[in-house]
Amino acid sequence: MISEVPPQSWEPGDMEPEFYLDVPGARLVTTDVLLQVQDTIAETVEARAMSLIYGESGLGKTFATRAALKTIAPDLLLSLQFARSRPGPKDLREELFHQLRLPGKMPGTATPLYRQLMAALPRRPYVIVCDEAQQYNRACFELIRNLWDNSRKQRPAVLFIGGHEAYDTLQSDPSLASRLCARREVKAMSPEEMLQVIPLTHAIWATAGPELLEHIDVRHADGSMREWAKVTHYALKGLKHFKTDTVDQQVADWALAQC
């Protein structure tokens, strides 16, 4: 579905987004995804609640979340990221200890560390961001739930960002599912939305006709912002390769062959 608010490119300085592949000249666009994620995050933070943003990879979940969280004070964000896949509760406890910058030596056993976290979390209006939540097992979700449940003086807002596996795990447990304030599914752009959004994401697409954009989307991108970023990356190289200033069928097909 296309938003009633037409997509718009953001003016420089409004936000410093982190673009996939760091494509020069890329612009942040106020798509349906970004607006919906912003609404979900605002609601979650205001209510000090737990929410889930989920969907297939490459559709802009993490990008939109990070863009929306630019308005949150950095020292209130507890962004849980791990060097290895499939973290366990021990990894979460230790990462929270470091993110909270707790003094002293970290306890070597679970219970004393859990008590330190319980004492620290209610002190400030923290926002816990659990990215790649499809990697979490049920025990990880239970740990976050217990910390949230027991921080009654001032609960942290909790955002789970992940694939459908995260949704399935949370929904399969009534005690977890009942605590979710919102579930926001991020979907691929429709062909109609793609034609509105992509010309705003980079100057090289502003003069591309709808037939060419549809050709690229059908053949490769399929409504994925990450795949469109990849095509843009190679299209810029294609412009140099063919010594031209305009993306035409030849440049587009060359770029698609590199993807």
Q: What are the strands, taking DSSP E only, across 65-109?
A: 77-80
DSSP 213: H
Q: What percent of the chain has pLDDT over 70?
A: 92
Indicate the range of 29-33, 130-134, 229-233, 246-250 predicted with least confidence: 29-33
DSSP for 108-139, please give it: SSHHHHHHHHHHHGGGTT-EEEETTGGG--HH
Q: How far apart are CA 130 and CA 136, in angstroms?
A: 9
Residues 186, 33: contact at Cβ < 8 Å? Answer: yes
> Which whole-number Å values give the CA distances from 36 to 43, 183, 217, in the listed order?
11, 11, 23
Which amino acid is it at 185?
E
Q: How far apart are CA 40 and CA 30, in angstroms?
A: 15
Residues 130, 136: contact at Cβ < 8 Å? Answer: yes
> Which whole-number Å values give the CA distances from 241 to 38, 167, 254, in the listed order?
39, 44, 9
Among candidate residues 224, 227, 230, the one with its CA nearest the CA of residue 188: 224
pLDDT band at residue 11 under the 50/70/90 scheme: very low
pLDDT in tens, 82-116: 867 889 999 999 999 999 999 999 999 999 999 99
Query: Which neighbouring-strand residues pair with 77?
Result: 127
Residues 247, 199: contact at Cβ < 8 Å? Answer: no
Average pLDDT, the chain: 89
pLDDT band at residue 18 under the 50/70/90 scheme: low
Q: How far apart are CA 140 and CA 128, in angstroms?
A: 13
Q: What are the strands, taking DSSP E only, across 150-214?
A: 157-162, 180-186
Helix (H, G, I), strand (E, B) or coil at 102: coil
Mean pLDDT (whole number) for 33-53 = 92
- The 10 Å CB-count burial string (b at 16+, else e) for 218-252 is eebbebbbbbbbbbbbbbbebbeeeeeeebeeebb
Q: How far apart are CA 166 and CA 133, in angstroms?
A: 6
Mean pLDDT (whole number) for 16-33 = 73
Q: How far apart are CA 184 and CA 207, in angstroms?
A: 33
